């Protein structure tokens, strides 16, 4: 499986440790979307890149890290079709996949340490969607599609003649 990983500058050190952990303990391919140093980076830019790559089928899952994990979760979740779940323990990481088919998990570098982060990632990567809560997930998808359809219709009605 191709896993995209990204962070802002606050999450950089944890991202590097998680990337190394995945590469050393699994057969998954890791694609690093940045950042690549502790120089300031705006987390939405990285989150949008990972979300877009999932949407385009370039990667299958993503891991995003910022200070709290909240900002990257919000940013990635703005991308159509993306379900990003904030996770700081193994149970929420596992449920992100099993119950919600989340394509992305997010973590806060100022909230959890490296060892907990590794356990969270391991739980997420070892969980497979088997249709749990499918009815609920479909409701989320349907609502998102209804907003997208309204937006498209609105755009058609505002065309310049």
Distances in Å between the alpha carbon of 149 and those of 56, 81, 113, 138?
Answer: 20, 13, 42, 16
Mean predicted lDDT score pLDDT of the chain: 92
pLDDT by residue (tens digit) across 134-156? 888 878 888 888 877 666 666 67
What SS3 state is found at 66?
Answer: strand
Rounded to two decimals, the pTM is: 0.89
- Any catalytic annotation for residue 35? no
| pLDDT score for 5 | 98
| pLDDT score for 158 | 67
User: Does 131 have pLDDT greater than 70?
Assistant: yes
Nearest to 82 by CA among 13, 40, 140, 18: 140
| pLDDT score for 129 | 79
User: Does 161 have pLDDT greater than 60?
Assistant: no
| pLDDT score for 150 | 65
pLDDT by residue (tens digit) across 111-123? 999 999 999 999 9
Candidates 66, 96, 104, 127; catalytic one: 66
User: 95 with 102: CB under 8 angstroms?
Assistant: no
* Token output for 9: 């500058």
pLDDT by residue (tens digit) across 14-41? 999 999 999 999 999 999 999 999 999 9
């Amino acid at each position: 499986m191709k896993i995209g990983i990204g962070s802002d500058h606050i999450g950089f050190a944890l991202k590097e440790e998680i990337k190394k952990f995945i590469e050393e303990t699994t057969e998954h391919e890791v694609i690093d979307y940045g950042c690549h140093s502790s120089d300031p980076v705006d987390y939405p830019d990285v989150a949008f890149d990972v979300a877009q790559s999932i949407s385009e089928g370039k990667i299958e899952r993503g891991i995003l890290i910022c200070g709290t994990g909240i900002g990257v979760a919000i940013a990635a979740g703005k991308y159509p079709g993306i379900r990003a779940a904030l996770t700081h323990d193994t149970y929420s990481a596992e449920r992100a996949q099993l119950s919600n088919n989340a394509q992305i998990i997010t973590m806060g570098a100022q909230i959890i340490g490296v060892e907990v982060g590794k356990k969270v990632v391991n739980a997420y990567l070892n969980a497979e969607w088997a249709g749990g809560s499918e009815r609920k997930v479909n409701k989320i998808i349907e609502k998102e599609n209804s907003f997208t359809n309204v937006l498209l219709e609105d755009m058609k009605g505002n065309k310049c003649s």
